[in-house]
Chains A and B, each alone.
Chain A
Amino acid sequence: MKKDNYLFKLLILFLTFMKIGVFTFGGGYAMIPIIEEEVTKKRKWISEMEIMDILAISESTPGPIAVNTATYVGYKVAGVAGGIIATISLAIPSFVIIFVISFFYQDFMQWPVIAAMFKGLKVGVIILLFSAVLKLKKGVKVNLVGIILFVTALSLMLVFSFIDTGFKYLSLCLILLGIITGIVLTLIGKNKEEQE
């Protein structure tokens, strides 16, 4: 009985999400196994099914997936305070690690070997971004409106990067364009076919 009290839950949330912050590289999906182990298997506070729902919602609401998932799991386990504690504990390890790194960063980059290493890493990052596109593509349904939105966004992004207008809100406007188009299509009933 004592093991399920509120403060104990908050403490476990704090420790679990600290652990996730320390051991997940890249965030997002990498954190799921640790959540499952701690919160689902060991404590049985959340079911496997609920984890899936939480993931789906975290993916599709604004904010980084990892941060959303932390808030949601925390809320499910221990209410609003749980949500806030889980999210902050997730952030603490990264915060500390990056904070320490930023002090050495500039000097570090002066070394020729490190500079060469980062030139190589830049090419690695390019490949990572392209593979992220390929991975995400699987989750997008192909239809006419989707293709039009995709082509519009891509060409505007490219044109704006080359002519450098100083306009800072292009990607934000494009996201809004996608949201509005989706809602308008639902209003006039064009989105129905996708739900079947």
Chain B
Amino acid sequence: MIFFELFYTFFLIGLFTFGGGYAMIPMIQEQVVSKGWITESNLTDFIAVSEATPGPFAINISTFVGNSVGGAFGAVCATIGVILPSIIIILIIAMIMKKFMKNKYVQGALNGVRPIVLALILATALMLLIKVMFFGGNSFKGEWEFDIRSFALLVILSGILFIYKKVRKKSLGAIKLLGLSALLGIIIFTV
């Protein structure tokens, strides 16, 4: 049944997300894109939509996918699925709190999981880079073609970020960066 499948899939995603929202992207690609619930290209678009709308990415993506697959009730099932592991785990940990975090095995497990999470996000970034530059943002199937406009935009944006950081001594915020890429995107891709 689709509602249970939505709940279960997002429960699994919530359970195995360590860290911020982006850490869940690889799992969404594996679980959600492969089921055909959202396309690769739509997922990337949605990351931008989610950055530009309030609220945590996790809630946004589960509501969006849930609604497009199973309507309002689907959205409820997916969203409850993604927050339920947090509620259960944090409540248990909060009750036994301090001892838990100081436990050497817990610390050991965290030391092991951090490099993995880093690798997962980097892999996502690299794959996305290849897909956008050569496959029009879609999966690797089909013929490849180098997208010179996307590449030009990447170079321009990186340049702006670099100069901003040199001059202002801090990074450009995510929202401003996306605003800039939207604006430059309209110029570059409609001309």
Q: For B123, give its contact among A25, A113, A153 (CB under 8 Å).
A: A153
Q: Do A125 and B44 have beta carbons less than 8 Å apart? A: yes
Which 5 A/B pairs are nearest by Cβ-Cβ distance?
A120-B185, A182-B112, A94-B55, A124-B181, A27-B56
Q: Do A64 and B111 have beta carbons less than 8 Å apart? A: no
A126-B132, A179-B113 are known contacts; what are 18 more A-B pairs with Cβ within 8 Å? Answer: A62-B16, A62-B85, A63-B17, A68-B89, A83-B94, A95-B75, A123-B132, A127-B158, A128-B177, A133-B121, A141-B111, A154-B119, A157-B123, A175-B116, A175-B120, A182-B113, A187-B105, A195-B107
Q: For A182, give its contact among B93, B111, B178 (CB under 8 Å).
A: B111
Q: What bracket does the count of chain A residues touching chain B fall in?
A: 35 or more
Closest to B137 in A: A122
A61-B90, A99-B63 as given contacts; A123 in contact with B150, CB under 8 Å: yes
A6 on the B face (CB < 8 A): no
* Bound CA–CA A166/B36 (angstroms): 12
B174 on the A face (CB < 8 A): yes
Residues of A within 8 A of B91 (CB): 71, 75, 80, 83
A168 on the B face (CB < 8 A): yes
Closest to B110 in A: A60
**Using a CB–CB distance below 8 Å, which chain A residues touch chain B?**
21-28, 53, 56-68, 71-72, 75-76, 80, 83-84, 87-88, 90-91, 93-95, 97-99, 101-102, 105, 109, 112-113, 115-133, 136-137, 139-141, 145-147, 149-154, 157-158, 161-162, 164, 166-172, 174-175, 177-183, 185-187, 191, 194-195
* Bound CA–CA A169/B144 (angstroms): 27
Residues of B within 8 A of A88 (CB): 83
Give chain A nearest CB distance to B191 CB in angstroms: 9
* Bound CA–CA A37/B54 (angstroms): 19
